Structure formats: C-alpha cells, structure tokens
Amino acid sequence: MIPKVFREVIDLGDGREISIETGKLAKQAHGSVVVQSGKCMLLCTVVSNYKQSDVDFLPLTVDYREKFAAAGRYPGGFFKREARPSDGEVLTMRLVDRVLRPLFPKDYHAETQVMIQLMSHDDDVMPEAMAGLAASAAIQLSDFPFECPISEARVGRVNGEFIINPTRAQLAESDIDMMIGASADSVMMVEGEMDEISEEEMADAIKFAHEAIKIQCAAQVKLAEAFGKKETREYAEEREDQDLAKKIHDMAYDKVYAIAKAGSAKHERSAAFSEIKEEIKATFSEEELADYGDLVSKYYAKAEKAAIRTLTLDEGLRLDGRKTDEIRPIWCEVDYLPSTHGSAIFTRGETQALATVTLGTSRDANKIDMPSYEGEENFYLHYNFPPFCTGEARPLRGTSRREVGHGNLAQRGLKGMIPADCPYTVRVVSEVLESNGSSSMATVCAGTMALMDAGVQMTRPVSGIAMGLISDAETGKYAVLSDILGDEDHLGDMDFKVTGTSEGITACQMDIKVKGLSYEILVNALKQARNGRLHILDKITDTISSPNSDVKEHAPTMVTRRIPNEFIGALIGPGGKVIQEMQKETETTIVINEDPVTEEGIVEILGVGREGINAVIAKIDAILFKPTVGSVYEVKVIKMLDFGAVVEYMDAPGNEVLLHVSELAWERTENVTDVVNMGDVFDVKYFGLDPRTRKEKVSRKALLPKPEGFVERPPRDDKKRDDRRGNDRNRDRKPRRD
C-alpha cells in the first residue's frame, strides 16, 4: 500500500514549477523530501543524533551527490561506481552548508547529516539550484532545533531580464550567474560571477532572487503544517553563568581594548591577547578551572570580540592600526620563476600568493564528467593552502573543500577576462605562502599578473578584495572594513569578497550574518570595495601594465590551422604514423579536433621556437597542396623510371607526380637519362587530369621553345583505335558452345 503523500507546488512564474513531496521515500530518516522540476528529481534526507557530541562546534555534514544512473549513464573509470565527490559536487555542498549552519543553535553539537542525491536528471534543469530548498524542506519536517526555513535560487539575466533558475542554455547567454541563499526575512549568502556589472545591478539581482526565495520558504511552511509539524527536540544546552561572564568581561575588556587600539602585527597581538587570557585564568584555582574552565575561555572570547567591535565602531580603528577603508601595504613581482610560462608574487600585508601559469593544447583541458554536465574547461585555476602559510603543522589529507571553493571563486573572477580567441588551454596554480586575510583575493591578483607575464592577452586586469562589516542595530552605527585581517573575519556581521576590473564586478562571495541587512548598506559596502579594488589594481598595473606581447622564449607558441575534413586522415596517417613522426621530428605537440559545425579539422601546433612549428605548417601545406591548371611549378626529380621521371613539387614536399617521357622534350626521347637525372630541379607546367589516362599531367617541354622546323605528329583518332581494338577482340572470339 502506497503511503499518504504530501505535496506543495511552487510556481516560478514562467510556466515552470518546483514540487516538494514527502511521505513516500526514506521514512526512517528524521526528515526526507523529493524536490522535482521537470524530470529533475532530488532526494534529500536529514538525520541528527539525539546525543550531543563531545565537541564545541556543530558537526554538520552536507553531502551532495549526482548519481550517473539519473542521466542513464555509467560512471567513468575502471570501477563502474561513484567514488569521491567531484569539484562540482563539493561546491554545491559548500553553498548549502554556508546557509544552514548559522541557523542551528550555537550550543547544538549533535552529529547531523544532510544528504542530497540527484535521482533523475533533466537537461533543462540545473539541479544544484534546488539543493538548498531540498535541504531546508527536509529539516522543516524533522524535530531539529532550526531557526527558520531557507532556500536558494540561481539568478541569471538575459537581454536585461532577470530569470530564476535559468537553464544551462539561458545561462550561456546570461551576463549574471549568481546563487543567493536567504530566509524569508534576510539574505544570508551570495556567490556568483558577472560580466563586469555595477554594484547597483548586483543588488537588484539579489533583490529579485530574494522575492522568489520568500515564496519557496512559504511553501515549506505549508508542507510542514500539512505533514504535521513535530515538536522541537530537547537537547542538553551549554552551561551559562552570567555572573562569571560579567566578571571576565570586566577583567578583560579594557586590556583587550588597549592592545587592539595599539595596532600591532599578528603574532605580537596574538601573544598579548593570550597573555591576558592566561592572567585571567590564573585568578581561578585548579578546581575552579576544572569545573568551568571552558566557560572562562568562552566568556573571554566574547569580551575580546566586544572590545574590538566597539573600537572599530566608536573610533574607526582596527587591530593593526589601520582606518576602516585603508589597504595594507602591497608589493608585487612578475617573472619570478625562470622555468614557468608565467609567474607572479602578490603580497598584501601578511598575505602572500605565488601564482604560475602553464600554457597547453586542448588536450590539456580540464574535463568535467558529471551526470548533470559534461564539458571541458580551457581555463582553470587550482589553489593550494599548505599549513605552513599560517605557521601551523598539521596532517596533509588531500585537497580540502575550502581549497576547492576558494580556487573556484578566483577562477570565476578571472575567466571572463580570458579572450574567446585565446588559442591555449591555460592553467593557473596559486601557492599560498602566507595567510592573514583573504588569500583567495591575493590569488586573483597574483593570477592576473602571472597571466599577463605569460603573454595571455587578457581583456582587462582583475583585482580582488575581502571586505567586512560591523554593525550595531541599537545605535544604527556600522563600519565597512576594507581588506580584512584573518582575526577580523569572524568578528563582523558580514564578510564578502569581490573581484572586478576597472569596468565592473566579475565575481563575488558573501556571507551575511546579521538579519535584515539593508540594501543601502550593502550597496555602500560594495562601493567601498570598488575603491579598494581600484587601489589594488593600480599596484598591479604599476608592476605590469599590460600583457606581454608574446610568450616567453622557453614557453610554447601555439599556432592553429583549419583544414578541410577530407584531409584529416592524410594528416594523421595510417595508425597515426604521419602525425607521430611529425611530432618526433619537429619536437612539437599536434592536436586535431573537428569543428562540430563546419566539420573542418582544427589543427593545434604547440612548440618551443618557430623552426619546428614552421616545419609542421609546411607539411600541412604539402598535404593540402592542389596544383592549379595552367600554373608553373618548380619540381625535383626523386625517382627515375623507364617511361619517365617521378618529380616532387618543391613548394609541397611529399607531393609527387609522374613526368612522362613524352613530356620531357619536343624531340623524341629514347632514354629518360638523356634529358634529366636524379636530383635535377626545373619547372613544369600543370595541365590537370589527362582525359585519356585519368592521371595528373605535367610537362617540361611545354615551357621549352619549339625547335625550328619541328612537325608534330597528328593526334591519334582514339575512336578508330578503340573500334579497331574492339573488332579484333570480336574476331578472336570463338563461337560459344551451347
């Protein structure tokens, strides 16, 4: 018997719908929903242990997976089974996690899992846009302590019109691709890329998405009410001691304020704050610390945060002595690494990134193989954040989700400035060598300079900046912080990263922690970020003002040629023999792709130095060579025969033609060697196909003066000749015996 199913439908306003359904699948989970749009179906389940974990944070795991069976495909690789998540899946996990996590109580520490699976794929629906909706809807059906429903929406803009959850085809024409996460009351998360848009346009896109999210949140509430809203579970809350909190605040606040106001470097400041904390702890006995030492640390952290926020709001000063809109000192250098195709160092305060650029062919493209999308990236960026960059020693466990996310943000910021006609596949790698404040934005700056150093003809250079916001709802005061420190990252009410050119924004990432942030404050913050970006951009262009006109001597040069489809086989040769020999002889890399529209062959030739590339081009020209009737060509004798000589076109080595003995000279030629010999070079005239032999005909004698008194033999009557041959054959036949 099929259980009762509860369902809510969300109208997207353009004929499309999203449905949320529960009651049929995964009923042992604490909450489960199926979210569907078109043929796309996501199953989301949520489970949270009833016992608190012995940690001081929420052990929340958001897992998003796309099943290949959903698209009727097999996983790639030897073992036909989904394994570790792809970068695309990791990025979706991060988008959902960043919106959900702040809405759990700070003292809720139970192991919690949110699992989202793509069960059915639709080419016209991008499933990651519905992942946040699915996660929140499942939580609303559970008994978790969770503040309010949220949702996420993707917004694009085509021909000036905003679109919610655009198709991939629409997104290809869009100048905005943003994911917005929000509750009905407040925007909480923004991430995306844009084609150099203004701050006001970005705010308008966020507003448009928020209106759609309000409808999605209301649908979740209706579904939960129809299903039967569960009582919120009870859990062991953290201890609180207000008297102790006040005591520690009074002991720490003024001292922290004084150190914060002094303006010091990271390690000096950290040591001073640690000393205050140890002094406070020393006022308690060992028994007291054993009993509530965790509360002492907790209340000290609150006092420290309050003092630093007040200093900034009241005096406009920050931990390192800067004003709110001041950027830390910057120094840059390009061409630092002698063997890379391009390199640059960008250092801002205590944050440093070393970026390298590698140029390759389409064979080096980053292949994306997901059930929801198959394709290639010809520009991609990898970001590495080793532990030494923060002065730590910790285990290396492969690429972290954070590294994937920060690298993706930097890639999105830069990729719009890589011209469409760039012949190379371009890989940028950022090695973060120091970190105290946004290393992802340092990566954007270092990446820009490394690309220009490599000779990639960027449309415009890109810079990036990390910003913060501290606000006080009671007084109405707020301060926007430019180029935030690592210590300031968790102190504020909003932290956001913005990349862009002199013309506009190319990418952004925001996490908004304060409810009801006004769009006026948001736009003001974005405009202050623009001033900071332009200041940093000036430092970049002072170091390298424009892309180098050519690649470095040791870097490969790329030349692209198009050839008719029928010549692709000749260029490859039997079993790849021709192209392999060509690559070996010329020390080049040759890649052949087929244009899906024109079906022409696109030949990429990559090599260091022009000599090898020119040799490949000459070979291609030889293969494509088609002599013109009536034209004269220089040839060389490469083979002697009794009835003529085989000659090779000097302009197209490898193209041979027979020069018949009758076309050597006007006089009768008894021996070919009487006229020409091996290695002789001379001109011939091309006559096209001989109608009699159906073979190509060239002539040497046609370019020689006719001897005086020379009488040509009359042409043979081929018809009489053929008739005579036919009659002879008929005469030779004997009567057939029955």
> Can you tell me the mean pLDDT for 281-290?
89
End-to-end, the C-alpha distance of the chain in Å comes to 84
Checking if the pLDDT of 469 tops 80, the result is yes
- 469 sits in the region (left: phi over 0; alpha: psi -120 to 50; else beta) called beta
Chain mean pLDDT for the chain: 91
pLDDT digits 0-9 by tens, 32-42: 999 999 999 99
Evaluated on CA atoms 264, 265, 266, 267, the torsion sign reads negative
Task: For 248, list phi and psi in degrees, rounded to 5.
Answer: -70, -40
> What residues have CB less than 8 Å from 346, skipping those under 6 apart?
330, 332, 352, 353, 355, 442, 445, 446, 449, 540
CA neighbor of 729 nearest in space, from 721, 737, 486: 721
Please check whether residue 118 is in contact with residue 70, taking contact to mean a CB–CB distance below 8 angstroms.
yes
The segment with the largest mean pLDDT, out of 61-65, 467-471, 578-582, is 61-65
Lowest mean pLDDT among 296-300, 429-433, 484-488, 548-552: 484-488
Checking if the pLDDT of 727 tops 60, the result is no
Please check whether residue 623 is in contact with residue 567, taking contact to mean a CB–CB distance below 8 angstroms.
yes
How far is Cα 88 from Cα 372, in angstroms, rounded to an integer? 10
- The pLDDT assigned to 705 comes to 87
CA neighbor of 552 nearest in space, from 333, 346, 335, 332: 335
Task: For 175, list phi and psi in degrees, rounded to 5.
Answer: -100, 5
Residue 186: CB atoms within 10 A of its CB come to 15
How far is Cα 690 from Cα 110, in angstroms, rounded to an integer? 89
Lowest mean pLDDT among 98-102, 271-275, 544-548, 722-726: 722-726
Pair of tokens at residue 59? 């052990």
Please check whether residue 413 is in contact with residue 548, taking contact to mean a CB–CB distance below 8 angstroms.
no
Cα dihedral: 51, 55, 58, 60 (round 10): -80
pTM of the model: 0.86
- The pLDDT assigned to 277 comes to 92
> Can you tell me the mean pLDDT for 70-84?
86
Lowest mean pLDDT among 5-14, 65-74, 187-196, 515-524: 515-524
Question: Strands 187-197 and 505-512: what pairing?
Answer: antiparallel
- The pLDDT assigned to 406 comes to 96
The more confidently predicted of residues 268 and 725 is: 268
How far is Cα 714 from Cα 609, in angstroms, rounded to an integer? 58
Residue 553: CB atoms within 10 A of its CB come to 8
Helix and strand totals (H; E) in the chain: 15, 29
What single DSSP character describes residue 350? T
> Can you tell me the mean pLDDT for 124-144?
96
CA neighbor of 454 nearest in space, from 539, 336, 364, 548: 548
At residue 715 the predicted structure's pLDDT band, cuts being 50, 70 and 90, is low
How far is Cα 216 from Cα 20, in angstroms, rounded to an integer? 10
Checking if the pLDDT of 331 tops 60, the result is yes
Q: What share of the chain in percent tops pLDDT 90?
A: 64
Checking if the pLDDT of 267 tops 90, the result is no
- The pLDDT assigned to 487 comes to 84
- For the annotated binding site, the residues are 489, 495
Please check whether residue 641 is in contact with residue 672, taking contact to mean a CB–CB distance below 8 angstroms.
yes
At residue 518 the predicted structure's pLDDT band, cuts being 50, 70 and 90, is confident
- The pLDDT assigned to 735 comes to 52
Beta strands in 536-671 (DSSP E): 557-563, 589-594, 601-607, 632-641, 644-649, 656-660
- The pLDDT assigned to 738 comes to 43
Checking if the pLDDT of 388 tops 60, the result is yes
Lowest mean pLDDT among 204-213, 439-448, 476-485, 703-712: 703-712
Residue 413 host element (H or E):
helix 401-415
Question: Strands 366-370 and 681-689: what pairing?
Answer: unpaired
Helix axis angle for 266-282 and 286-315, nearest 10°, is 140
Residue 288 host element (H or E):
helix 286-315
- For the annotated binding site for Mg(2+), the residues are 489, 495
What is the largest distance, in Å, between two alpha-carbon atoms of the chain?
A: 132
CA neighbor of 483 nearest in space, from 369, 319, 621: 319
- The pLDDT assigned to 253 comes to 93
> What residues have CB less than 8 Å from 653, skipping those under 6 apart?
618, 619, 622
Checking if the pLDDT of 725 tops 80, the result is no
> Can you tell me the mean pLDDT for 616-640?
88
At residue 714 the predicted structure's pLDDT band, cuts being 50, 70 and 90, is low
> What residues have CB less than 8 Å from 211, skipping those under 6 apart?
none
DSSP string, 555-591: SPEEEEEEE-GGGHHHHH-GGGHHHHHHHHHHT-EEE
Pair of tokens at residue 246? 């006040």
Residue entry with tokens 């063997």: 339
